[in-house]
Amino acid sequence: MTSLLATTNMTWYLFPLALVVSLVYSASRYELPSRIIRHAISCFVRIILFMAVILALLWWLSFRL
């Protein structure tokens, strides 16, 4: 288990976590299942894009350091 944890990049944990947050947040906004799913997908994409932008920014800032 320890070796598995050590070899897993923590960044990958973002995806299931973003999915969970999107689903629960959307479920608290609407009642209609189709609307919840649609809102959750867009929310998930926005979170991932935002994090990707932050990642790119940090990568650019740390370039050649």
Partner 1 sequence: MTCWAGAATAKGIEFQPVGTVAERWARNNLETNRKASDMMTTDRVDLKNRYLAAVLAFLVPGLGHFYQRRWFKGAIYSVCILTTFFWGMHLGRWKIVYFRWERGNKTVGYLSQVCVGLPALPALIQSWRYGPQEGHFGRRGSGRLSELEETIDASFRGRFVPTETGRMTSLAAGPAQGRIQLQPVPGEFGDEVRGVFTGTVAGQTDVVLQLSGPVEISPRLYASEGIPADLLDGQTDSDLPTVFVSDRRYIRCEVVDENSAFQSSAGYLEGTVPRPFWNWFEVPLEEPAKQDLHRQLGKFVELAQILTWIAGLLNLLAIWDALEGPAYGYGDEKEEEKKEKETDSDDGPPGKPSQKTPDAEKAGSGSGAAEPVGGKTQ
List contacts with partner 1 (CB under 8 A).
2, 5-6, 10, 13, 17, 20-21, 23-25, 27-36
Q: Closer to partner 1 at the Cβ: 9 or 63? A: 9
59 to 4, 47, 48: CA distances (angstroms): 26, 18, 16
Cα separations (Å) of 47 from 35, 52, 55, 64?
Answer: 18, 8, 12, 28
* CB closer to partner 1, 1 vs 61: 1
Taking the least distance from each CB to partner 1, the nearer of 20 and 52 is: 20
